[in-house]
Amino acid sequence: MTGLSEAAVHALDDLTWLDDVIGDARVVAIGESSHYSHEFLALRHRLLRYLVERHGFTAYAMESGFPEGRRTDAWVRNGAPDELGSVLATGMTSLMGVWTEMRDLLGWLRQHNGKVGFYGIDLPGSVVSTLPGLELLFDYLRVADPEFEPDPVIRDTAGALAVSSPFSAPAAMAAYGQLEQSTKDAFTAGLAGLVARLAARRLEYVDRTSRDAYGEAWCALAGAVALDALARAMAGGDRLSMMNIRDAAMADAVEWILGREERVVLAAHNGHVQRRPGVLPGMPPMTPLGMHLADRLGQDYVVIGTTMDTGQILTNGPEFYTGTLFSPLPPAAPDSIDGLMAASHDGPFGVDLRRLSDADARAVRAAGRQRVLADHYGDVEVLTAYDVLLHVPVITPAHPDVDALAFAPVDVQGPFDAYLGTARTA
């Protein structure tokens, strides 16, 4: 058991116990128990610093849209300082960027003068809209294949289902459900045609552009195809396929990044990075990103998971869309791994799961479920899902970034205004 001193913000020596765990791994995944929590974002930042400064990692990849991440990477490598607010609002999806904690992280990355790249790995448009991925692809084709004209049905359908943020996602999903089946089929067929074209002309396109540019366009198209398949699965009530499609696509994005970068820090929810099947409410076990990476990378994939006890957590319900962004988090169930960690130490601390005593290993196996939401626990084989667990006893909301929110869409500003107004009068 190793303590983690949050007070020593700029010191990293309390993390040296991780060296044996990290070893020569090419990907170190950092999980989080809840999105938009100050403590998890701060912990992620410290671990990123450690992995870059002490172990030479050169890429930071996170659970955010792949095509949108290009803008963030460009800013990190050589962007104007006064553009950061806009980058936070538009260069990351699913509200991942509109927090001062992310401002600090990107600012730190930029100080490395382009030596550490930023990548999104998730599906485009906050996992709702194919448009950002297709726009990246069409921009590429204007160079690689200037005589090619995409089918207007693809552009029109993607545009009709575009979203500006997760707050408009329900309307976009409803709009998809109202499309004629013939339109859905034409869109899917059009995407398949694009896949066939890029595959058949790969050598020609690479010769006209570059391997990196072609690979990026391919990943953008693959994300759009995956999102279309996800929408079809959702419309058919197949939630398991929906989740599996997303995580498989994210694994492919990480694999593409590994073709450019030697060592990658990967940040996503525990449910994505763990090596064991994940469980969400009312669903059978899913195959997460981490299982794909463990299969492909073996010992070169290391997973740092997290647990939490109490505080305030992201709201999981319709109230979120009207500004109740966070809700009270009751203490962890005693028979969960979160509860076991909470009972083991008063403050934040970490455990190398590979070096437990026999008694501790038995206790961890007995606590065979982990908190997924405030009131939901999923079964998990902790000792094989993670290499390390880091426990945060109390989580609090991340801090909304006023500058970033000024560049955010109106449908984001409204709920955040309501949240900040409530916070000011509380």
Q: What is the mean pLDDT of the chain?
A: 93
Question: CA angle, corner 94, sides to 92 and 100, nearest 5?
Answer: 60
Q: Is residue 54 exposed (0-12), middle (13-18) or buried (19+ Cβ within 10 Å)?
A: middle
How far apart CA 55 and CA 124 sit, in angstroms, is 31
pLDDT (tens digit per residue) in 124-175: 999 999 999 999 999 999 999 999 999 999 999 999 888 888 898 888 888 8
pLDDT at residue number 8 = 45
Write down all domains in the chain, each with its CATH number in brackets.
Answer: 25-125+263-412 (3.40.1660), 126-252 (no CATH)
- Closest C-alpha among 424, 383, 380 to residue 400: 424
Is 7's pLDDT higher than 80? Answer: no
How far apart CA 50 and CA 59 sit, in angstroms, is 13
- Closest C-alpha among 313, 373, 362, 312 to residue 340: 362
pTM of the model: 0.95
- Give the lowest-confidence range in 2-16, 41-55, 324-338, 412-426: 2-16
How far apart CA 365 and CA 376 sit, in angstroms, is 19
The residue assigned the tokens 């999104």 is 120
> In sequence order, which residues have a C-beta less than 8 Å from that of residue 426 and are 6 or more positions away?
none
pLDDT at residue number 278 = 85
- Helix, strand, coil percent values for the chain (each to nearest 5): 55, 15, 30
Is 315's pLDDT higher than 60? Answer: yes
Residue type, 199: A
Determine the 3-state secondary structure of 388 from DSSP: strand
Determine the 3-state secondary structure of 149 from DSSP: coil
Alpha helices in 168-308 (DSSP H): 169-178, 181-200, 202-208, 211-235, 239-258, 270-273, 289-297
- Helices 181-200, 152-160: axis angle to 10 degrees equals 120
The residue assigned the tokens 């966070």 is 326
How far apart CA 252 and CA 219 sit, in angstroms, is 8
Is 9's pLDDT higher than 60? Answer: no
- Closest C-alpha among 250, 294, 242 to residue 269: 250
Give CA torsion, residues 332, 267, 244, 121, to 10 deg. 160
pLDDT at residue number 215 = 97
pLDDT (tens digit per residue) in 91-138: 999 999 999 999 999 999 999 877 899 999 999 999 999 999 999 999
Q: Is the Cα dihedral 266, 269, 270, 274 positive or negative?
A: negative
